[in-house]
Amino acid sequence: MERRIYVRMLWQRWNRQAKIGLWVITLIGIVAALPLGFQRMTMEDSANTVEYAFDYRDLIEVAEHQANPREFLDEQLGLLKEAGVNTMAVYESTLKELSQAGRLTYYNEKDAALLQGKLPSERVNYTYILFAGEEEEEKVGKVVREALDRSGVTYRDWSFGDRNGMVVEQALTAVHLKTMDFDPMSLEKLREKGFHILARFSDRVVPYDAERTSSQLAMLKEYGVTRLLFDGEKSKGASDQGALGSLDSFGTLLNDYGIGLTAIENLKKPQQGIHKLAYMTDYNVVRVYSLSPEDSIEMTKGGIADRFLLAAKDRNIRMFFLNTMLQSSMDTGKLNHSADKLAMVMGGEDGVIAQLEEAGFPHGIAQPFESVNASWEKPVRAVVALGAIAIITLLVAAFLPALAIPVFLLGLVGSAGLYVLNSSLMEQALALGAAVSGPTLAMIWVMNRIYARTIGNRRMVGGETWKVGGASYEGEPRTQWVFPDVPAGKRIVTALSWFIVGTLITLSAVPLVFGLLHNITYSLVLEQFRGVSVLFFAPLFLVAFYVFLYEGSDGHGVVKRAIGILSRPITLLMVVGAVVIGAIGFYYISRSGNAGQVSSIELLIRGWLESTFGVRPRFKEFMLGHPPLLLGLFLAIRYRAAWVLIIVGTMGQLSMVSTFTHLHTPLYISTIRTLLGLGAGILIGLICIGAWILLEGAWRRWVQPHIRKPSA
């Protein structure tokens, strides 16, 4: 029996001592991550040129509805070029688009019969095509015939009047669906106008034909194309990768012709196959933000400029894609479009392009970020992973102190096994674990300081006495709600010191996160930090669990406290508290993630902060997180109920770590945003403390003396 007790005590001592070693390993991991952070900052500063592309298909569709389509098109191209829009996005053709561009006209069986003054045939339902002229017949006719030959459709020559064409032995609806090659006449026109061309490839032509694709890329290269933007949910070759290895073939061709890729911002998931192509092209990729047709009509110049500047600065966007559309107005009886407006908004001395240039983003042809994989990175990232395992172990040991050593060993073995199966998944899992551990450990450390200052060795359940204002009562164990008074100045200094140390513990997770996820794929959003929802809620839950069930670092009596809480009768106060907590939780959920809802007042505050500081601190930090935490630390030395504010303040701590999980945001921007949030949050927190001191003083001076004391 004595030997068993001795072994248990020895094991507990080893685990307590192991925590010191775990913190040392964590610190080593943090230091190891710093060179990776500097390397990432160098990469993020390697390409600042911004490219502005306009959707040429949109412009063609708008021109089709004008009185003089060709004159309108030439005029708009001139205005856009003068404004600084240097690129036109051109798609693979369809019969409809070739007709809109004026290259040809087409008819179904009935319309063709009407054109010729005949009755339509009741036996067939063919498509009839007439080219606009000899040049169109030569250049565009080749494109149409190649598409029909590839589909195995029969056609023959046909003419009407002085125009030549063809009869396609297939219904017009079916011919409409065929994807054809790029319109060579549009490419020539745009090159003559001085535009760079962004080619929009699709994966609609199957099966994949390497020879045909090579000839397409060769033709595009002659027109100066240096980058592709895929049209649809798939990259070129994605459909036939399993059967034909088409992505491998297409990636090789892209390298042969020196053509890069463009990744679209704000997609729910990356286009299928682009990750592999990006890897094969050594991440010759730039990210593009698209201004929707509706926004191009409705937004003001200032709104567009702010959005583009935020995208370039905060999200590493290096290409902006402009769209337009026709909008009919019954009030004016006119067809509206935004092409004129966009030319005016983008150009000029105070235009969007000029504003971005002033902010350090010159306009030109977008270039990919220069990413260098140094030979020392792999062993350094292994050290960072070791630090992440250590901090995760420390979190587990905060709740289960006797398991520090086995949990660390299990983490080593599990991480090694997961690395063999999927190294990216291992890194993301450790990054999430470290992100959750940092703020949680910080608040646990804070609570342990509060426990040591207030209740000492006493426990919530099982104590023999309770005190209020110095009076002691024997009998049923109860909770101590008010602690001995401490001068306000000392409480402020103590609260600030706890806040600073807790914040440093929280931020210890940041280098581990960006060190583990040090890869250009995260900057290009081809991969993302996983577990955002877990990060938003796990620290809050764990800290609340610790506050209500733990009062010290030994973990004794947790089950007894839990049973005691669950066995208490439900009161009206509990119901009201649950409703309040539910409302706060709903608001918190509504603000979490990219789709979070933001009030109009907060939008005004955001705009002012952005224009004043250049970088906007996060609202959840400087308003909803840091002030309650600082006020809670000040009050917790005197009032037990203030411990709830520690739970609320956890939101600001986890938000700081969350800021750095936006890996497409430049590292220096995230750092400035966090520091600004801390500064503003501390200032607001001190104001809240000052207001409490005044209210507390007024209560003691004017209210408390008049409260009738109970008779003896």
pLDDT at 468 exceeding the cut of 50:
no
**Per-residue pLDDT band at 565 (split at 50, 70, 90):** low
Contact 260, 299 (CB under 8 A): no
pLDDT at 474 exceeding the cut of 50:
no
pLDDT of residue 402: 82
pLDDT of residue 470: 40
Kindly state the tokens that stand for 241.
């990768």
Residues 566 and 694 in one domain: yes
Gyration radius from the chain CA atoms: 33
Query: How many CB atoms are closer than 10 A to CB 282?
Result: 12
Does a structural domain hold residue 486? yes
pLDDT of residue 327: 78
Distance CA(270)–CA(475), nearest Å, equals 66
How long a stretch of residues is the chain?
712
Average pLDDT on 620-634 reads 91
Residues 359 and 450 in one domain: no
What's the number of domains the chain is made of? 3
Does a structural domain hold residue 674? yes
pLDDT of residue 122: 81
Contact 602, 653 (CB under 8 A): no
Residues 88 and 104 in one domain: no
Count the alpha carbons within 13 Å of 608 in the hemisphere toward its beta carbon. Answer: 7
Residues 72 and 219 in one domain: yes
Residue 221 backbone dihedrals phi, psi, to 5 degrees = -65, -35
Residues 475 and 347 in one domain: no
- CATH number of 219's domain: 3.20.20
Average pLDDT on 565-590 reads 61
Average pLDDT on 425-446 reads 95
Query: What is the H or E stretch that residue 198 is in?
Result: strand 196-200
State which amino acid sits at residue 240. Answer: D
**Per-residue pLDDT band at 463 (split at 50, 70, 90):** very low
Residues 247 and 173 in one domain: no
Higher pLDDT, 392 or 374: 392
- DSSP letter at 705 equals G
Boundary-marking domain end, from 341, 368, 395: 368
| Residue 647 falls in which region: left (phi positive, over 0), alpha (psi -120 to 50) or beta | alpha
Count the alpha carbons within 13 Å of 389 in the hemisphere toward its beta carbon. Answer: 22
With 0-12 CB in 10 A as exposed, 13-18 as middle and 19+ as buried, what is 316? buried
Strand-by-strand arrangement of the 127-131 sheet: 104-107, 127-131, 163-168, 155-160
Residues 616 and 509 in one domain: yes
Average pLDDT on 633-646 reads 89
Does a structural domain hold residue 711? no
**Per-residue pLDDT band at 521 (split at 50, 70, 90):** very high
Contact 389, 363 (CB under 8 A): no
Does a structural domain hold residue 383? yes
pLDDT above 90: percentage of residues in the chain? 64
Q: Is residue 681 classed as helix, strand or coil in its secondary structure?
A: helix
- CATH number of 169's domain: 3.30.70
At 268-327, the pLDDT tens digits run 888 999 999 999 999 999 999 999 999 998 898 988 998 999 999 999 999 999 999 887
Question: pTM for the full model?
Answer: 0.86
pLDDT of residue 635: 93
Does a structural domain hold residue 79? yes
Average pLDDT, the chain: 86
Q: Lowest mean pLDDT: which of 208-217, 363-372, 471-480? A: 471-480
Q: Is residue 165 classed as helix, strand or coil in its secondary structure?
A: strand
pLDDT of residue 594: 45
pLDDT at 552 exceeding the cut of 60:
no
pLDDT of residue 551: 66
Average pLDDT on 671-676 reads 93
State which amino acid sits at residue 453. Answer: R
pLDDT at 593 exceeding the cut of 80:
no
Contact 367, 45 (CB under 8 A): no
At 141-166, the pLDDT tens digits run 999 999 999 999 999 999 998 999 99
**Per-residue pLDDT band at 538 (split at 50, 70, 90):** very high
Boundary-marking domain end, from 163, 181, 199: 181
pLDDT of residue 712: 45
**Per-residue pLDDT band at 669 (split at 50, 70, 90):** very high
**Per-residue pLDDT band at 634 (split at 50, 70, 90):** very high
Boundary-marking domain end, from 129, 148, 181: 181
CA neighbor of 321 nearest in space, from 93, 525, 86: 86
Q: Lowest mean pLDDT: which of 83-97, 526-540, 587-601, 695-709? A: 587-601
**Per-residue pLDDT band at 336 (split at 50, 70, 90):** confident
Residues 620 and 648 in one domain: yes
Higher pLDDT, 358 or 711: 358
Contact 616, 606 (CB under 8 A): yes
CA neighbor of 272 nearest in space, from 220, 231, 217, 244: 231
pLDDT of residue 457: 52
Does a structural domain hold residue 428? yes
pLDDT of residue 326: 82
Residues 689 and 552 in one domain: yes
Residues 631 and 552 in one domain: yes
**Per-residue pLDDT band at 467 (split at 50, 70, 90):** very low
Domain that holds residue 105: 94-181
Residues 381 and 492 in one domain: yes
Does a structural domain hold residue 708? no
Kindly state the tokens that stand for 278.
């990006």
pLDDT of residue 473: 40
**Per-residue pLDDT band at 460 (split at 50, 70, 90):** very low
Residues 303 and 335 in one domain: yes
Does a structural domain hold residue 710? no
Residue 382 backbone dihedrals phi, psi, to 5 degrees = -65, -40
